[in-house]
Amino acid sequence: MSDIPTLDEIRRAAGRISPFIHRTPVLTSRAINHMAGADVFFKCENLQKVGAFKIRGATNAISYLSDEQIKRGVATHSSGNHAAAVAKAARWRGARAYAVMPRNAPRVKQDAVAGYGAEIILCEPTLAARDEVLNKVLADTGAVFIHPYDHVHVIEGQATAALELMDDVPGLDMLLVPIGGGGLISGSALSAHAVSSAVKVIGAEPAGADDAHRSFNLGYLVPADRPVSIADGLLASLSELTFSIISSHVHDVVTVSDELTIQAMRLIWERMKLVVEPSAALPLAAILAGSVKTRGRKIGIILTGGNVDLDRLPWVKAK
Amino acid sequence: MSDIPTLDEIRRAAGRISPFIHRTPVLTSRAINHMAGADVFFKCENLQKVGAFKIRGATNAISYLSDEQIKRGVATHSSGNHAAAVAKAARWRGARAYAVMPRNAPRVKQDAVAGYGAEIILCEPTLAARDEVLNKVLADTGAVFIHPYDHVHVIEGQATAALELMDDVPGLDMLLVPIGGGGLISGSALSAHAVSSAVKVIGAEPAGADDAHRSFNLGYLVPADRPVSIADGLLASLSELTFSIISSHVHDVVTVSDELTIQAMRLIWERMKLVVEPSAALPLAAILAGSVKTRGRKIGIILTGGNVDLDRLPWVKAK
């Protein structure tokens, strides 16, 4: 792991991407603190460009590319926020962007990616089809692959969110971060570890997509087996890279049911007036379920994104 | 109008209430700026205590009460945010609060008011019944009436929102403010007039509750006649006090259809990830409808509140 970013490198990444992203606010809610029995600080990446923290990693990774690489363009696969982030970040450097998306990706997400100027290549919604189509795109175009999380520079970019949160709120006891493929929690754990050994990093993962929970406790990588969750941003499996960072720098990984996730999501909408996607609600759900010892502590949470289909809210029954 | 607050008095009010309220952030959206052809700065009072700017006026008015008055308690009538604000502000001074609310006020709003510790007295949903019940409460308890807008100290408190916005964003060309009973726009106009004559203040009112529009253009007070609008916070009629301030300090009053209001509300949820109530969306709706000359200007908007029933969103068809 000799190429794992240091605190200095993360700080330099933060400076490099700062012209292109928002310094998102940290908000609190007295009502939620009361329910949690803790002081909870929410880093609002739902208010970030493209509506999600993903713009940090994509922008950082693309900032490292040479002019020659930029000429060939960039490519990725993603059903959601990462594809939009790569499309937007590519535009800043004038690079073409190719996004391989499953045929069943929500129309609203396809529109967002196309709106940022990427060329969308649809594939069947299987891992094999996705990889095959992506490899063909890479072979045809020579584009550089920006993996959603199995990528050191993506992780380095995602690390800047936790760094800003810790800069704004000194003395945090704990950071609670959702886990999908593990890019955000890997970056957060690297930042926390470098800033202060007193900050514990805990992952929150959907019970129906608990590969990180299993891998963390078993000590070897267990891929997700047909993951299902309302938290559509958290269905991916860890990679060797993210698993190795999580194993060495994360303190625990807890799981959360979809039902509690939806309740916590609604609570954030109602009490904080913030639109967040289901994935963003897992850390608060874990606290309110009593899955993490938070009583009396100072807790940081990254609200990862706010891209939801407003026509299909999980608590509104379509009759 | 000798008791109309001066800039000095508004600044003192801001200092007095500052320990009890949030300094709310000002947010922007590149996508919305693009659609509007203008730079739009949103003052996020939906993120305010009780989820609405109303806490400013209520806190300020109650801060003026003597200890003897506080012992008698405070009372108000309101179907929504003002009652919650009075209840919460009363609690800070240890005063009892009485809220006269129409029997058909949404359960969620009654719960909020009760949750802040006020005693709710239900009445039939007519102006006559409301006034009769309120007068009985005042007679029985000796409580001090905190009118939702026909009250100089309430207006002085509401004025602090525009003042903060102008402090944070110097050089605004225009402030766009929703109009119900006229408390917020009166305060905003007093602040704007005192800070710079270059800041035009424009009111946005529901087409179905257009008493301020008519009164402004006819030059005499026309009460609302059976007002109907999705913007449930904007159904009240101007008072002599707010009409007189609006007549002398506001530059125009435009009307907005419910359909455009709902579209603008949804746009704010989707692009800014902010939960706002319908009333808060009228200014943006007016801009996007082309009802105000905003091209190339620097526009301030007060997002007045975020208290909505998440089970009944106006764009979700209940089938």
Taking only the tens place, the pLDDT of each residue in A165-187 is: 999 999 999 999 999 999 999 99
Q: What is the percent of chain A where pLDDT is above 90?
A: 90
CA distances from B277 to B213, B230, B268 (A): 21, 9, 10
The alpha carbon of residue B20 is apart from the nearest alpha carbon of chain A, in Å, by: 12
Q: How far apart are CA A125 and CA B277, in angstroms?
A: 38
pLDDT at residue B2 is higher than 50: yes
The alpha carbon of residue A99 is apart from the nearest alpha carbon of chain B, in Å, by: 22
Q: How far apart are CA B196 and CA B193, in angstroms?
A: 6
Amino acid residing at A283: P
Q: How confident is the model at residue B38 (pLDDT cuts 50, 70, 90)?
A: very high
Nearest CA in chain A to B307: A270
- The domain defined by B55-145 folds into Rossmann fold (3.40.50)
pLDDT computed for residue B190 by the predictor: 98
Read off the tokens for B158.
Answer: 């509401």
Is it true that B7-53+151-303 and B55-145 share their CATH fold? yes
Chain A residues with beta carbon closer than 8 angstroms to that of B34: none
B49-101: pLDDT as tens digits: 999 999 999 999 999 999 999 999 999 998 789 999 999 999 999 999 999 99
Read off the tokens for A302.
Answer: 């990254």
Decide if the complex's ipTM is over 0.85: yes
Task: Supply the DSSP symbol for A256.
Answer: E
Whether A274 sits inside 8 A of B275 (CB atoms) is yes
Read off the tokens for B192.
Answer: 């704007």
A120-130: pLDDT as tens digits: 999 998 889 99
Using CA of residue B174, residue B272, residue A285, residue A304, what is the dihedral sign?
A: negative
pLDDT at residue B153 is higher than 50: yes
pLDDT at residue B205 is higher than 60: yes
Least confident of A141-155, A215-229, B1-15: B1-15
- The domain defined by A7-53+151-303 folds into Rossmann fold (3.40.50)
Q: How confident is the model at residue A19 (pLDDT cuts 50, 70, 90)?
A: very high
Q: Which of A273, A275, A316 sits opposite B311 (nearest CB)?
A: A316
Nearest CA in chain A to B314: A311
pLDDT at residue B319 is higher than 50: no
Q: How far apart are CA B78 and CA B209, in angstroms?
A: 17
pLDDT at residue A11 is higher than 80: yes
pLDDT at residue A2 is higher than 60: no
Whether A275 sits inside 8 A of B276 (CB atoms) is no
**Do residues B141 and B120 lie in contact, with contact meaning Cβ atoms separated by under 8 Å?**
no
A45-61: pLDDT as tens digits: 999 999 999 999 999 99
In the sheet where B74-77 sits, what is the strand order? B119-123, B97-102, B74-77, B144-145
Q: Where are the domains of chain A?
A: 7-53+151-303, 55-145
B117-147: pLDDT as tens digits: 999 999 998 889 999 999 999 999 999 999 9
Chain A residues with beta carbon closer than 8 angstroms to that of B88: none
Across the range A223-238, mean pLDDT stands at 93
**Do residues A46 and A40 lie in contact, with contact meaning Cβ atoms separated by under 8 Å?**
no
Chain A residues with beta carbon closer than 8 angstroms to that of B266: 310
Whether A47 sits inside 8 A of B318 (CB atoms) is no
Q: How far apart are CA A182 and CA A155, in angstroms?
A: 9
- Helix, coil or strand: residue B238: coil
Q: What is the percent of chain B where pLDDT is above 90?
A: 91
Task: Supply the DSSP symbol for B149.
Answer: S
Nearest CA in chain A to B269: A275
Across the range A57-85, mean pLDDT stands at 96
Q: How far apart are CA A219 and CA A212, in angstroms?
A: 10
Task: Supply the DSSP symbol for A238.
Answer: P
A83-141: pLDDT as tens digits: 999 999 999 999 999 999 999 887 878 988 999 999 999 999 888 999 999 999 999 99
Q: How far apart are CA A76 and CA A144, in angstroms?
A: 8
Q: Which of B270, B276, B319 sits opposite A319 (nearest CB)?
A: B319
Q: How far apart are CA B110 and CA A83, in angstroms?
A: 44
Whether B266 sits inside 8 A of A27 (CB atoms) is no
B279 CB near a chain A CB, below 8 Å? Answer: no
Q: How far apart are CA B213 and CA B206, in angstroms?
A: 9
A:B CB pairs within 8 Å: 50
**Do residues B300 and B164 lie in contact, with contact meaning Cβ atoms separated by under 8 Å?**
no
A41: phi then psi, degrees, rounded to nearest 5: -115, 120
- Helix, coil or strand: residue A114: helix
Across the range A14-40, mean pLDDT stands at 96
**Do residues A48 and A18 lie in contact, with contact meaning Cβ atoms separated by under 8 Å?**
no
pLDDT at residue A317 is higher than 80: no
Q: How far apart are CA A256 and CA B149, in angstroms?
A: 46
pLDDT at residue A18 is higher than 90: yes
Nearest CA in chain A to B272: A47
Whether B275 sits inside 8 A of A276 (CB atoms) is no
Q: How far apart are CA A301 and CA B266, in angstroms?
A: 26
Chain A residues with beta carbon closer than 8 angstroms to that of B276: 273
pLDDT at residue B223 is higher than 50: yes
Torsion on CA atoms B38, B230, B82, B143, rounded to nearest 10: 150
**Do residues A121 and A100 lie in contact, with contact meaning Cβ atoms separated by under 8 Å?**
yes
- Helix, coil or strand: residue A255: strand
- Helix, coil or strand: residue A85: helix
